[in-house]
Amino acid sequence: MSDGVVEVEGKVISVLPGTMFRVEIAGGHQVLAHISGKLRKNFIKLTVGDRVKMEMTPQDIEKARIVYRLKNAESPRPPSIPRRSFGPRH
């Protein structure tokens, strides 16, 4: 954690254009958050209902940077679609 950065957890309540998200933190406060470069680079997908860890500065409590997607125990993601088989290779 860097100097002057506050880490908070929240829940994504809406997906906005341009990789922006509306996230609700404890107490019902809503912030506008964007994805960090590492999440973007590794193609981490976020949807409504995901729990995330964010970094905020004390100077601007209306904006945040999403740095981690937490495991969702209450709503597991659907299993990945199996690959199609086109028969044995000859």
User: What are the structural domain ranges in the chain?
Assistant: 6-69
2 phi/psi in degrees, rounded to 5: -80, 170
86/5: higher pLDDT? 5
The predicted model gives 31-57 an average pLDDT of: 92
Beta strands in the chain (DSSP E): 6-16, 20-25, 30-35, 51-57, 60-69
**Model confidence band, residue 81 (pLDDT cutoffs 50, 70, 90):** low
Q: What is the pLDDT of residue 90?
A: 65
Q: What is the pLDDT of residue 78?
A: 58
Exposure b/e, 2-32, CB count within 10 A at least 16 = b: eeeeeebebebeeeeeeeebebebeeeeebe
Domain 6-69 has CATH 1.10.3720.10: no
11/2: higher pLDDT? 11
pLDDT of 25 over the 90 cut = yes
Strand partners, 12: 23
The predicted model gives 24-45 an average pLDDT of: 92
